[in-house]
Amino acid sequence: MPGPRVWGKYLCRSPHSTGCPGAMWWLLLWGVLQACPTRGSVLLAQELPQQLTSPGYPEPYRKGQESSTDIKAPEGFAVRLIFQDFDLEPSQDCAGDSVTISASGSDPSQFCGQQDSPLGRPPGQRAFVSSGRSLRLTFRTQPSSENKTVHLHKGFLALYQTVGECPSWGCREGASVPSHDPDAAADCHPYPSSLPVCGRPVTPIAQNQTTLRSSRAKLGNFPWQAFTSIHGRGGGALLGDRWILTAAHTIYPKDSVSLRKNQSVNVFLGHTAINEMLKLGNYPVHHVIVHPDYRQNESHNFSGDIALLELQHSIPLGPNVLPVCLPDNETLYRSGLLGYVSGFGVEMGWLTTELKYSRLPVAPREACEAWLQKRQRPEVFSDDMFCVGDETQRHSVCQGDSGSVYVVWDDRAHHWVATGIVSWGIGCGEGYDFYTKVLSYVDWIKGVMNGKN
């Protein structure tokens, strides 16, 4: 990637900067040494966001306690912290229960109350970035009073991580960057709107899975997974912070005699259970862009089966909502490479309510062509498609999975890449499945996202 690189490939300001590639070894070493947030504990920040919570979160915290947590980054890096959830008892000037953020050379900042409430002083969505390599969070709660009504508050959930080292003006809040250094925010912010981190789940996918049967996904395994409801259930994947990659046929299904005009397009994110996704709410879609090569009236031709949904608003990223990466080379499609496909599709004849995933290999193209010919199938298997699966093994890709993505691990870039989009197949559970080859459309995707197409 030309120019300065932020997040994942650390910012290199000069040949002597410890933020250059050699410093990655520090992160690998530090990542092994993690501590639990107990009284007076030390946490070692890593490249990926890690969680820090109040004791017992999300259960109500106990009164009359105090704990301090020091978060440290490797030499040459800073610590960034942002609150995802904040629920403390409000008090005048935060004299009661409070969280204090402090760093060397700066005045401490004290917070209390609830995230979306005007009472107290909640931290909101601002980011706190240390000037040096450490930041301290202190959590204090006042002893309960017998004459006082008990308030049940769950405390806080914060994310912390290493970022490129910031200028030395103390513990900086994301909304208060000195005007003389306009580039400082970009250097220290791991989620700039133009380049959010992609393909690195906070909760890693279990890669030791040996069965080709589906497994239930854990929260955060596939944080890019979208659930769509258009002409039925479908899937998609988050790109950046406001785009959903999906299949064109989920928007314009093949062989549909009559389609309602102004069909509603519903997108849900942020969980592995459909009912929880529905509670989180629909993300309104601003614009639907279908690839021009897609032909709805050609029932046996799924060329160009790719579309983008632009959401009305940027999505706040967190451990359960992160984008996936796009492919950049053909080696990600080599035969035998194992990847994962996830979705909310039909399984064993039943609609699932939980996100499932399967581990499947990229299949040899010749094997898939022979399999289609053997069955005298008329479907077009173009160069802009590839096939996945094993003719001898059952799998679980089926109706309802359309639009979801197939991801493989890129050893060179160290992140997950969406190489394919679930497009078409012959029946469910047997043989091969056919995917839109995302690499063939990367230029189109980037052009749409940059407003050029």
pLDDT for 36: 37
Tell me: do 167 and 227 sit in the same domain: no
Considering the domain architecture, whether residues 306 and 427 belong to the same structural domain is answered as: yes
Same domain flag for 129 and 231: no
Are residues 48 and 145 both part of a single domain?
yes
Q: What is the pTM of this model?
A: 0.60
Contacts of 34 (CB under 8 A, 6+ apart): 43, 44, 50
Q: What is the set of active-site residues?
A: 249, 305, 402
Residue 111 belongs to domain with CATH number = 2.60.120.290
Q: Is residue 13 in some structural domain?
A: no
Domain membership of residue 107 (yes or no) is yes
Query: If phi over 0 gives left and psi between -120 and 50 gives alpha, with beta otherwise, what is residue 242?
Result: alpha
Same domain, 104 and 170: yes
Q: Which two tokens stand for residue 77?
A: 């890096």
Residue 9 lies in a domain: no
Among the candidates 188, 207, 229, a domain finishes at 188
Paired residues of 308 in beta bridges: 245, 289
398: nearest Cα among 437, 359, 344? 344
What would you measure as the largest C-alpha separation in the chain, in angstroms? 81
The verdict on 374 and 336 lying in the same domain is yes
| 112, part of any domain | yes
- How many structural domains compose the chain? 2
Q: Mark which of 135, 170, 188 sits at the end of a domain.
A: 188
Looking at the fold, whether 165 and 300 belong to one and the same domain comes out as: no
CA pair distance 309, 235, nearest whole angstrom: 12
Q: Give the pLDDT of residue 27.
A: 38
- Residue 162 and residue 227 in one domain: no
Do both 399 and 261 map to the same domain? Answer: yes
| Same-domain status, 220 and 182 | no
Do 179 and 234 fall into the same domain? no
| Strand 225-229 relative to strand 98-102, pairing | unpaired
Residue 362 has what DSSP assignment? B
Q: In the prediction, which pLDDT does 348 show?
A: 55
Per-residue pLDDT of the chain (453 residues; tens, 9 = 90+): 333 322 222 223 233 333 333 444 333 333 333 333 345 689 988 877 788 999 988 889 999 999 999 999 888 888 989 888 899 999 888 999 999 999 876 778 999 999 877 788 999 877 888 878 899 999 999 987 654 545 689 999 998 888 765 433 335 444 333 222 333 333 343 333 334 578 988 787 765 455 556 788 999 999 999 999 988 889 999 999 899 999 999 999 987 654 555 578 999 999 999 999 999 999 999 999 999 999 998 889 999 999 999 999 888 888 899 999 999 999 999 999 999 999 987 665 567 789 999 888 999 999 999 999 988 888 999 999 999 988 776 665 666 689 999 999 998 888 899 999 999 888 776 778 999 999 999 999 999 998 876
159 shares a domain with 58:
yes
Per-residue confidence (pLDDT) for residue 260, from 0 to 100? 52
- The reply to whether 199 falls in a domain is no
Query: What count of other Cβ atoms lies within 10 Å of the Cβ of residue 61?
Result: 22
Report pLDDT for 170.
38
The boundaries of the domain holding residue 227 are 215-449
CATH number at residue 269: 2.40.10.10
